[in-house]
Structure 1
């Protein structure tokens, strides 16, 4: 739920804080006092379009801040997404949101203490809040929204079926598109496959190995400089080991180390430190002996082999031929070959593969058709239940003869969509099934069944939408519902019924209502009033909570425009008593 909303510098609102509660929160006030700015602020907080024209010149920016307290699975989902993006909840578990809009039109968003794209606010808003106003009623007039709402109303088993259908549909479309592409581009695919085969044949003949080029380069360098390497190794061996003198009467390194070690050992009894150094000289002599042996082995292996050098030249030339055509180095050539083999499999247009794909297409088409039929039947059953429930609600909203019907119609066959057969009829299958859903209104007996937007007046449409929302309330969706003057054009007993149904919604949802009807405001669990302040040079508005006597005076003002009228206050108190009795019942 939304616990708190602070608005600064937006329209006539200078700086005000709305402290909201669970249940039904009602906002009232004089015309022009700024009630709509509250809804505008909510829109901004949850990612709506920023209008710089609504920003007050002083201080030159509008700021909307909100505190959300989430629970259950919704909390897990939303907070996990926020944490992934770098934000975090407050110490008490609540989530802080902020949106700033400057007078120049620049906009910034903060979620969980971190700066984030405005789209993150929209993502959160889609899950926690739904705004219903005369303009927002267009949401439920869209066929896709009507189908989605009916699917939610149908229940969790239906949604599982829909998920299974979508997975099958995705596989089916993939096979359909793949098969069509292979058939349509068979010649192009065949040409590309031939080129890949030529490349793979050439690479296979050479058979390059990882790291081979570097190894060959090093070996070639040794063979090319074999004589110089031999002389260097031989002279080093002569200097280290006895047997061949570098210069006449010159002792070798081993002899010199032995002489030094023996000399130090002779005095080790006097100073142990010299004994330690003698031991280290012995280690050095051992190391030099090892090096001498390795030099001897190196000389034995070193061979200036012109034939081997020629083989290396030829091999490296073959590898360079591959790197000129396919990649920058041998490793790249090997990768190219692996990718080419994968592409070659994808380019296959053989009759055997096409036949196999066609069988898979037919198998999946049967599954899609079967699942589509089950979806259609489930939607038709849910449509009957939904129509009856909404019609009952309309009877209580002073539309006793009106009836809402839900038409579940087959999707017309189009040029760009695959089709399936359901009950012998060919229909187009989409990602949500083979149905189109349309809400229709019969305003009175004998009236034609028309789409909502054509069959209802403004006041009727408000009541129809409220009835639909009451029915949908038990079928999931956001926990916070905002109604912005959906009671426009309504009065009398119908207004009382609207208040009663909003109060019913508030048992399971947090409801925020902007209204001009006292019959609706009387059902509030918390009543907030937007009031103008014209004492300064600039008119501003603020929001305050009214209770008891103040609340009765506000309802009297709404009833007759006379907050101090004894008759108006008496009528207001009667309304409050009736509403309280209804809520307790």
Structure 2
């Protein structure tokens, strides 16, 4: 909802401040007074294209600011863009220089012009000859019918099911596309498992074989080294009087004196003596175990070669990892060949989701079909009262070859201006005034009396074009009815429409050295005077004033 709009240096408007009411607001004034500039300013705030030619002559820039009450969703989008609300109100601004590029602001933060355009759909709906129809797009038409049918929750369930079905189809297609790849993988896994089953590798086997092969390949060298060590330890070789055991024992006995420190060292030498004896025993055992075995050496080399060849063929970094590969390969092969393979599960899921989508599509189609008849009837009734008797709104539901993301049919709104003319898409073959009245009829037909924290805003321009008399009164009555659930702003030249307004804004100009336009709210006598001017062009005419007063009285009663 728009609370206020401020305009500076835009066309003939030097400075103006418009406070818009929550209900029905009309903007009136003589031709050329600047009513169009009010809508131009609003268009700039909503991200419209800025034309430097509208900047007031003699000034360097035009500035338009607006205060809006917005939904939580819009507030979040502004906050995501870096802006913030001021006392729960959103401030938008647009600066249009006479030369150069315009600047846009939302919530105190500079934003791209496109950001204002994106917000516009959630802030204000403008109906006029020069504006893009809100309901021209099939998506908007479908959304309107679904809202009228109360089918939004059903559509949400349908959309969720359709999304899950789409994802399941993609997964199954991917699974099927990889079928040959999986068959090849299974064949490779089986071959590898057969190889390892015959080879039967053991954890740590390669390291053990390497150690054994090195020992068998160096038997003589090891025997000589161990023999020399044993002789030195046990004193069995040449120079036995110098063997390690004897020398350590001599040193130990030499330290067996009364000095405590030397006695402690003697004890430690005793430990060394015992350790040397153990080492000597182990060296003797090693010497005994050494035995040349060329056959065993050949076997160890062949076994290591087989393990390394298997690791290379299977892409394993080290032979010791073959056992781990075997375990993982067996699990993967079971996954590929198992009775409940991924393909079967995906096909089952796809069948279930397809059935669920069909059921929800039937619900959605039934709701739309029922609502289409009601909407057509309601809009036709409104059009009859808006000087478009014989006009008919047809709601087309065309089945799709298969359910799509928004249902099993497309939705289209078609206008038949006269009984003898064919239905045509909205916007084709109708005047701007007729289109505005069709939009008004639609908005009135779908208007919901449910309470809302944020009232939607509708701006109508030329809604009264080509009508007068009783039809004009009906236009005003319907605008007032719509204003019970929405904020309605209308630029009009018909007093019958203006009489129904809750807030009446008068655009007037004074001509001196420069033309200055003023916008102000009027009521009471001033309002009667303006309605009289609109009726007869003579605001001081007593007859016109009485007629204006009568219009106001009847408009109040009509509500």
Give TM-score, length-normalised by structure 1. Answer: 0.64
Give the one of 91, 114, 135 matched to 2:109.
114
Aligned-partner Cα distance in 1 for 2:173–2:506: 64
Aligned-partner Cα distance in 2 for 1:49–1:404: 32
Structure 2 segments unaligned to the other structure (5+ residues)? 189-200, 202-328
Match of 1:4 in 2: 4
Residue aligned with 1:377, SS: helix
Deviation of 1:575 (Å): 1.8
| Mapped pair 1:461 → 2:450 | no
Aligned-partner Cα distance in 1 for 2:74–2:337: 47
Query: 1:148-176 deviations in whole A, cap 9, x for unaligned?
Result: 11111112xx2111111111111211222
Deviation of 1:130 (Å): 1.5
Deviation of 1:390 (Å): 1.4
CA separation of 1:182/1:36 partners in 2, compared to 1, >3 Å: closer, same or farther?
farther
| Mapped pair 1:525 → 2:478 | no
CA separation of 1:370/1:60 partners in 2, compared to 1, >3 Å: closer, same or farther?
same
CA separation of 1:116/1:461 partners in 2, compared to 1, >3 Å: closer, same or farther?
closer
Structure 1 segments unaligned to the other structure (5+ residues)? 196-204, 206-340, 412-426
Deviation of 1:428 (Å): 2.8
Query: 1:238-296 deviations in whole A, cap 9, x for unaligned?
Result: xxxxxxxxxxxxxxxxxxxxxxxxxxxxxxxxxxxxxxxxxxxxxxxxxxxxxxxxxxx
**Contact 1:182 / 1:189 at 8 angstroms: preserved in 2?**
no
RMSD after superposition: 3.8
Residue-pair matches, total: 423
Match of 1:95 in 2: 90
Match of 1:165 in 2: 158
Alignment of structure 1 residues 167-182 onto 2, 5 Å: 167-182=160-175
Query: 1:96-139 deviations in whole A, cap 9, x for unaligned?
Result: 22222222342323333333344443444332321111233622
Give the one of 486, 492, 516 matched to 2:469.
492
Give TM-score, length-normalised by structure 2. Answer: 0.67
Aligned-partner Cα distance in 1 for 2:379–2:66: 33
CA separation of 1:45/1:454 partners in 2, compared to 1, >3 Å: closer, same or farther?
closer
CA separation of 1:505/1:144 partners in 2, compared to 1, >3 Å: closer, same or farther?
same
Aligned-partner Cα distance in 2 for 1:31–1:191: 82
CA separation of 1:124/1:369 partners in 2, compared to 1, >3 Å: closer, same or farther?
same
Deviation of 1:4 (Å): 1.1
| Mapped pair 1:408 → 2:397 | yes
Match of 1:152 in 2: 147
Structure ID, larger Rg: 2
Aligned-partner Cα distance in 1 for 2:337–2:460: 59
Deviation of 1:41 (Å): 1.2
Query: 1:23-81 deviations in whole A, cap 9, x for unaligned?
Result: 111101222222122112112212233233322353322211112235xxx2x333344
**Contact 1:24 / 1:526 at 8 angstroms: preserved in 2?**
yes
Deviation of 1:94 (Å): 2.9
Deviation of 1:181 (Å): 4.7
CA separation of 1:138/1:87 partners in 2, compared to 1, >3 Å: closer, same or farther?
closer
| Mapped pair 1:370 → 2:359 | yes
Match of 2:549 in 1: 573
Residue aligned with 2:447, SS: helix
Query: 1:219-246 deviations in whole A, cap 9, x for unaligned?
Result: xxxxxxxxxxxxxxxxxxxxxxxxxxxx
Match of 1:502 in 2: 479
CA separation of 1:457/1:6 partners in 2, compared to 1, >3 Å: closer, same or farther?
closer
Match of 1:385 in 2: 374
Aligned-partner Cα distance in 1 for 2:53–2:176: 57
Aligned-partner Cα distance in 2 for 1:138–1:541: 30
Deviation of 1:552 (Å): 2.1
